[in-house]
Structure 1
Amino acid sequence: MLDALKVFTTVTVGLMVGVEFSVAFVINRILDALPGDSGQLGRAHGGRMLGAVMPVWYIGSLALSAVWAVAGWHDSGARLVVTAAALLIVSVIMSILLLVPINNRGKTWTPENRPDDWKEQMHRWDRFHYVRVAIIVAAFALLAAALL
């Protein structure tokens, strides 16, 4: 049962990393290259869609990692799992304090109501997101290493 938890947790975190990596390095670059207001509208839609899903994914990944850390406390990779869980905690706190406030504003914007500094705010979100991606990539790598 513990082996199934380990694999499920690693796959769950890995898929989350893949989504967040693609947002950072593919989707947002595509949206930024679209003409007119299309990119801003796409970011607003993405903020609404992913803003509804990602909190569950982040908290779920953290919970799975915590269960793995407790259940596998005496395994050789336990310290790696605890460190991964700590990194996931950092990613959740960072999300709540830095990324969610910007996302909550941005997902309501239209070309008619967006602030003058909307691009600056989106670039700030992108910079925070790059750091968050690095953190969750590290957590995923630690979980994968703990499987060995």
Structure 2
Amino acid sequence: MLNALEVVTTVVVGLLVGVEFSVAFIMNRILDALPEDSGQLGHAHGGRMLGAVMPFWYIGSVVLVGIWAAAGWDDHGTGLVVTAGGLLVLSVVMSILLLVPINNRNKTWTPENRPADWKEQLNRWGRWHYLRVAVIVAAFALLVTALA
């Protein structure tokens, strides 16, 4: 049963990493290259769509890692799992404090109501997002290492 939990947790966190990596290095670049207001509208739509799913995914990942750490407390890789859990908690805190406030503003913007500094705000979100991706990649790497 523990083996199944380890695999499921690793897959869930790995998919989270893949989506967030894609947003950072693929989707944002595609949206930024679109003409006129299309990119900003795409960012707003993405913020609404992913903003509805990601809280459950992030919190679910933390919960799964916590269960793994508790269930496998005597295993050799538990320190790695606990550290990965700490990094995932850090990513949730970063999200709540740094990224969500910008995303909540962005998802309501249209070309008619967006603020003058909207590009600067999206760029700030992007910089924080790169850091969050690095944090969750590190957590994922620790989970994979704990499996080995």
Q: What CA distance in whole angstroms lies between the structure 2 residues aligned with 1:13 and 1:82? A: 14
Equivalent residue for 1:3?
Answer: 3
Paired residues for 1:89-108 under 5 Å: 89-108=89-108
1:17 correspondence with 2:17: yes
- Report 1:55-134 matches (<5 A): 55-134=55-134
Corresponding residue of 1:139 = 139
Distance 1:25 1:98 in 2: 19
Letter in 1 for 2:25: F
Question: CA offsets per residue over residues 54-76 of structure 1, 9 Å max, x none?
Answer: 00000000000000000000000
Deviations 1:72-119 (A, max 9, x none): 000000000000000000000000000000000000000000000000
State the TM-score, normalized to the length of structure 1. 1.00
Looking at structure 2, the residues matched to 132 and 44 of structure 1 have their Cα atoms a distance apart, in angstroms, of 20
> Whole-Å Cα distance in 2 between the matches of residues 141 and 98 of structure 1?
24
Return structure 1 stretches of 4+ with deviation > 4 angstroms. none
Partner of 2:46: 46
TM-score (norm 2): 1.00
CA distance in 1, matches of 2:142, 2:73: 15
Instruction: Report the CA distance between 1:37 and its aligned residue.
Output: 0.1
1:47 shift after superposition: 0.1
* Structure 2 SS opposite 1:73: coil
C-alpha distance in structure 2 between counterparts of 1:78 and 1:9, whole Å: 14
Partner Cα separation in structure 1 for residue 109 and residue 146 of structure 2: 42
Distance in 1 (alpha carbons) for counterparts of 2:79 and 2:124: 33
Count of aligned residue pairs for this structure pair: 148
Give the CA deviation at 1:132.
0.1
Unaligned stretches of 5+ in structure 1?
none
Identity %: 76
Distance 1:73 1:93 in 2: 25
Task: Find the aligned partners of 2:72 and 2:111 in 1 and give their Cα distance.
Answer: 51
- 5+ residue gaps, structure 2: none
Q: Alpha carbon RMSD of aligned pairs, Å? A: 0.2
